[in-house]
Chains A and B, each alone.
Chain A
Amino acid sequence: MAASLRMLRQVCGSLSRSHAAVRRLCSRAAAEAHHDVIRPVFPPLQSFSEEESMMRDAVKKFAQERIAPFVSKMDEDSVMDADVISALFEQGLMGIEIGAEYGGTGSSFFSSILVIEELAKVDPSVSVLCDIQNTLINTLLMNLGTEEQKQLYLPRLASDTVGSFCLSESESGSDAFSLKTKAEKHKDYYIINGSKMWISNAEHAGVFLVMANAEPAAVSMCGVISDTELGFVHTMNDNYTDNCNSNYIGVYINAHLVCVCVCVCVFQMLGLAQGCFDHTVPYTRQRMQFGKRIFDFQGMQHQIAHVATQLEAARLLTYNAARLKEAGRSFIKEACMAKYFSAEVATLTTSKCIEWMGGVGFTKDYPIEKYYRDCKIGTIYEGTTNIQLSTMAKMIDQEYDG
């Protein structure tokens, strides 16, 4: 009894001490407020510049009016509509970061990713075409190309030519640096020999950025621009030769640039998940069963709220990674986190959305199942989930190096 009383007194004592501490804190805050201490106010992550807002709104409208009507036909025929592609060029969506001096839009990285996100809300396939053009092809050329190459290709990429990115081979996916395609110097030109798989935008491209190994002794990779117009003979997935030595970008493709690309495909997943969610919730608000909206069932509400939270978390992770990149700060770990998480969230969201829509969610008459099919690539391309996790772990390990 005495022991418990003692304990009680101790607890009360510590409680009153903490109360006193709180009182002191409050009075200090009051005193500070009274003395007009100016604290910086940091805007939330969902703050955009006027330029970014305008871009996003313009693309949103464009996507809903010029792309949405074609989505299901393109999906059925498995063909990207030529009108849709030319509309993308007309709107300036294919050269967002390319400077006005090369005929591009001259906008920022964040604007381009907002564009990708808005496009993905309507059709993730169109979004990825735009994504590859802007962040793989254009970025690599702008950062690594010579002035001559930029003058030759950037205007075309901004106005009418789709670019293609050729990295993966049948024997090298995640292990990209083990690629077998070789660029062998012969007199004053290079001969490229190899065979590529998963050649993005192959059907529509006029310019191909081919990754090849120029220094077999070292572990290296270089990009070679292959131009369909400059008249060399090649067949897809077969050996080919290229005589144009001016089109060799002989530098290493490093992790930094790859992460830029990762950052953007994350927005595609985000847009995909949001688009799917935006299609589904109105349906749940209107579909009646057992005398009420299916949205009104607590089980549904909890699921919907959970998914909405995951979406918001994914959005903030990705916006933060993008802003870090723009600020010139280290962003690789954050980009990996964003990619891994957004892909998971996209999978969760689309899967749940089909359930919430019930039978109709399963049918092709509704766009939901397309989002479900499309989301899977998020965990695979631009670095698989396992690669992202390993990269994160490596960086975390280094952080604790002391």
Chain B
Amino acid sequence: MHRSSEVKHVASYLNTRGCECFGQPCESHCPVLTDRTIHVQLKTFIKIRVKPDRTGVVTDGVKHSMNPFCEIAVEEAIKLKEKKLVKEVVAVSCGPQQVQETIRTALAMGADRGIHVEVSGKDYETLGPLQVSKIFAALAKKEQADLIILGKQAIDDDCNQTGQMIAALLDWPQGTFASEMTLEADKMKVVREVDGGLETIKIKLPAVVTADLRLNTPRYATLPNIMKAKKKKIANVKPADLGVDVCSRLEVLKVDEPPQRQAGVKVETVDDLVGKLKEAGRV
């Protein structure tokens, strides 16, 4: 289905603050291996460590890569472009210099150009969904975007707020947890994964959509595309240029590891169980 182009471009927000694994400290799995488990074991599992001063987790020297949900968002944007439903895909990321690598990955997947919003040092440590959504709202106005697709949440903070906040700031409709999206005339049909099942909604463009796991399977950046990505442009912008104040309204008091799991206790009878629960003050 052809669509000429009121939909000018799609901006995909990339979160680079995660590490490879899905947010949990993971070690290798049990030794009963099948091919599938071997495959899993090959992934780079990074143990998350809390900083000694308990203000956060150690991020120095930890390999950062594109948030998995954001990869899905980029893939969807590129698919729309391949179907000629959108004219241009712009990949955006906020953060320090290293973030450019992630933008390049999006370019290698097929995005047309990138925007790097430079935030570093203390500002980056306290950068959260509110600041990012303000940056995005400002950029959307500047670039005259018609559609913003993001990952539903970042796997490091699991906030699940940025997409929703952008929509609110811009007063745009939103389709979150999308597992399917179809452009129909000037409306986007979004199938959302909700607790009760699947909800289908139609939202008018311009709109914000957040990608869920089953929306698509992201493509690999092929080597020729990586080479082509080198020629694509990444513009540099500062939050101040967009009139955004990245000062955080939140103060992290402390960060702790989850408490060690205690060993369980075996009991013989149900009475014993009730007795033990009463002892522990649980009933």
Contact = CB atoms under 8 A, between A and B. Distances in A.
A106 B41 contact: no
Nearest to B45: A282
B104 interface: yes
B36 A58 contact: no
A54 interface: yes
Contacts of A360: 31
A100 B223 CA distance: 11
B249 interface: no
Contacts of B28: 282-283, 285-286
Contacts, number: 89
Contact of A58 (B41, B43, B226): B226
Interface stretch (A62-70, A160-168, A346-354): A62-70
A96 to B, nearest CB: 6
Interface residues of A, number: 42
Contacts of B34: 365
A90 B224 CA distance: 10
Contact of B35 (A55, A72, A279): A72
A59 B226 CA distance: 11
Contacts of B42: 64, 68, 122, 278-279
A107 B101 contact: no
A105 B221 CA distance: 12
B281 to A, nearest CB: 33
A54 B31 contact: no
Interface string B200-235: 000000000000000000001111111101100000
Interface residues of B, number: 27
Contacts of B27: 282, 285-286
A266 to B, nearest CB: 21
A279 B33 CA distance: 12
B92 interface: no
A204 interface: no
Contacts of B62: none
Contacts of A64: 39, 42-43
Q: Is the interface of B mostly helix, strand, loop or mixed?
A: helix
B91 interface: no
Given A64-B39, A283-B31, A286-B31, A105 B224 contact: yes
Q: Is the interface of A mostly helix, strand, loop or mixed?
A: helix
Interface string B1-39: 000000000000000000000000001100101111011
Contacts of B31: 283, 286-287, 360
B223 A53 contact: no
B101 A53 contact: yes
B105 interface: yes
Given A64-B42, A91-B220, A287-B31, A50 B227 contact: no
Nearest to A367: B38
Chain A CB within 10 A, most for which of B28, B108, B227: B227
A232 interface: no
A92 interface: yes
A287 B27 CA distance: 12
Contacts of B39: 64-65, 68-69
Nearest to B100: A50
A365 B34 CA distance: 7
A129 to B, nearest CB: 16
Given A106-B227, A287-B31, 18 more contacts: A53-B101, A54-B104, A54-B108, A54-B221, A54-B229, A58-B223, A58-B226, A65-B220, A69-B36, A91-B222, A92-B224, A105-B227, A107-B226, A115-B223, A283-B28, A286-B28, A286-B31, A360-B31
Q: Which 5 residue pairs across A and B have the least CB separation, nearest first?
A: A92-B223, A282-B28, A92-B224, A105-B223, A68-B39
